[in-house]
Amino acid sequence: MPRHLAFLRAINLGPHHKVPMAELRERLTASGFADVQTHIQTGNIALTSTMRSQAKVEAAIEGLLGDWCDFEVPTIVRSPAELAALVKEVEATPPLVGEGGRRYVAFAKGDLGADAKAALTAYEDTPERSRVVGRDILLEIDSQFHTAKLAGAKLERLAGTPLTARDLKVVRAIDEKWSTT
């Protein structure tokens, strides 16, 4: 059975959209997924499924969360090999911001079209920079994520598709934990 890595958007942030990871693992297992694991509280999931299509896995997880939590949770799925390749490419990309800058990966739910790629690339020469890396976005900022102008809704508008961002340190940890298993 294929292994999938799922990234949930906008859960467990502030007082809203709480999704307890232990209960999520139980519910996913009861729904037919196997070997369900989570990493920290921000909705990083590894699981196996008889479903081969990432879109079907995304839809199944979104349906489960919508029924259980009564709010929409966009879910983005990658294979362990895709994550490993993404981390390798990001690591090979020289930092775009100076010392003290932070790097994030924004996983894109849909395709980044030519217009989105052009809009995102326009930020390569600003203090907050983005670069398309495969299906996803490398975001580098020289401030805190929550105060960055390019992060969040603006980045999502430019991309034209739902995104969920993770600090590069978290992405590396997930890659080390799940891309080799």
Domain extent listing, the chain: 3-78, 81-178
pLDDT band at 37 (very low <50, low <70, confident <90, very high): very high
- pLDDT, residue 181, reads 54
pLDDT tens column, 70-121: 899 999 999 999 999 999 999 999 887 777 789 999 999 999 999 999 988 8
3-state secondary structure of 26: helix
Contact, 45 vs 38, CB < 8 A?
A: yes
d(C-alpha 95, C-alpha 34), whole Å:
38
- pLDDT, residue 13, reads 65
Per CATH, the homologous superfamily of domain 3-78 is SP0830-like domains (3.30.70.1280)
pLDDT band at 180 (very low <50, low <70, confident <90, very high): confident
d(C-alpha 129, C-alpha 127), whole Å:
6
Q: What is the mean pLDDT of residues 123-128?
A: 73
Strand partners, 3: 48
Give the residue from 44, 40, 60 showing the smallest Cα distance to 52.
60
